Amino acid sequence: MIIKCITCKKDFVGREGRVACSLKCRPTKKKNRIKTKCLVCSKNFEYWAGRPVAKYCSKKCWNVRKPKILNDCLSCGKEFWSYKSDNHSYCSRKCSTFHSRETKKGDKSHLWKGGATKLNKLERCRAEYREWRNDVFVRDDYTCQKCGVRSSKGLVVYLHAHHIKEFALFPELRFVVSNGMTLCKNCHLLEHSHEF
């Protein structure tokens, strides 16, 4: 179908309903437009009334709208850049969690009950105890030293690190690897007269 362009008056081939030969010739709707000034470059521009209030004329101005500021990390003291509106106090998540943990440790915690945790429990929660336990498992190749059972496909075995000379009676041997022995849960229960 041959149509006459309403802007440049040239004939072009197109389907029914088209009025312009190209995007340049297509008429624009000027109604429902609001004129305003850009907050960054002070240039006048228009935007459609149906959208939220526009403050910036372009993406370039939007990117420059709020400059970054230099902050000091509360945990490590390192300087870092961030936006003022972000209100960051730490350079990384690691520093944030570390500082949070340190400020709520011991009597500074809201759960503090005056040091009611037993010394035995504190000793078993230390990193040194976990290292000893892991070293005993590695030395014994994650195998029970009584019955020889170990975890494999389809079989889950819960291992315990057993103190040959008791934990409570020999405090100097608590973290000596030669005083440890890998046992499965059942064999460990048989070693002790009391229940866990």
What are the residue boundaries of the structural domains of the chain, listed by start? 68-98, 125-191
Residue 26's pLDDT is 77
Strand partners, 60: none
* Other CB atoms within 10 Å distance of the CB of residue 24: 8
Q: Could you give the C-alpha distances from 196 to 166, 186, 188, 191, in angstroms and in order? A: 15, 11, 10, 11
Number of residues assigned to the chain: 196
Q: Could you state, in chain order, the average pLDDT of each consecutive group of 10 residues for the chain (196 residues)?
A: 86 84 75 84 84 86 82 91 83 90 84 78 86 94 92 89 90 92 92 68
Quote the pTM value. 0.43
Structure tokens at 166: 């008791």
Strand partners, 47: 34
Residue 164's pLDDT is 92
φ, ψ dihedrals at 178, nearest 5°: -70, -15
Residue 139's pLDDT is 94
Residue 29's pLDDT is 62
CB neighbour list of residue 87: distance below 8 Å, 6 or more residues apart: none
